[in-house]
Amino acid sequence: MLEFIYQSGWGAFTMLLLFQIPFLLVFLTVIYRKAYVDTSASTITDAKISKLRGGWLTLVIALFLVINIVGIQYIPAIYTAKAANSSVAAVDVAIEAQSWSYDMSVREFEVGKPVRFNAVSLDTVHGFAVYHPGGRVLFTMMLVPGVGESSLIYTFNEPGTYKVRCLEYCGAAHHEMSDEIIVTEASS
Ligand SMILES: [Cu+2]
């Protein structure tokens, strides 16, 4: 389910529509009631309006807090720090990005074994994006020089040849900045 939402344009579109349904329902209910059910002038009191407004404000504030508190762990800097300190037994890969290529300590991985990508940029801002053999982006990191390592843990679940590409414009040969990762079937 999460895979569908994150990796398909239709997933994102569906979510967007789902979020709009409650608003659409309220809108249509009000129109319908004022047109057919009770067409007289509104008799709602100021006190009731103020109560409704208070309720709405509380709901918005609560949603704001929940979304931010739940979402904070997905902020790249937090995610990176967590991956770097994670005690998960992962294969560590050291990556150095430099115009316009990557230096990677390991390029071959196994299905099902977590890999911790630890990447730095030596000159300018570069990206490190890994593409599924089918062409979609699995993840991307933005590498900023001078701020230390960015880390991310990823577990491949299909064997194949995965392309690595830079997704941050970094100069004349940016479009040629790519590499390959081989993922093999689990050995045991
Ligand atoms: Cu680039």
- Measured in Å, residue 121 CA sits from the centre of ligand 1 at 11
- Measured in Å, residue 14 CA sits from the centre of ligand 1 at 32
The pLDDT assigned to 55 comes to 96
Tokens for 81, please give them: 């720090």
The pLDDT assigned to 40 comes to 86
Mean pLDDT of 6-14: 76
Mean pLDDT of 90-118: 93
Residues measured by CB to lie within 5 Å of ligand 1, the ion: 166, 170, 174, 177
The pLDDT assigned to 72 comes to 84
Task: Name beta bridge partners: 162.
Answer: 181
- Measured in Å, residue 102 CA sits from the centre of ligand 1 at 11
Indicate yes or no: pTM above 0.75.
Answer: no
As a whole number of Å, the end-to-end CA separation of the chain is: 29
Tokens for 52, please give them: 């409704």
- Measured in Å, residue 177 CA sits from the centre of ligand 1 at 6
pLDDT band of 188, cuts 50, 70, 90: low
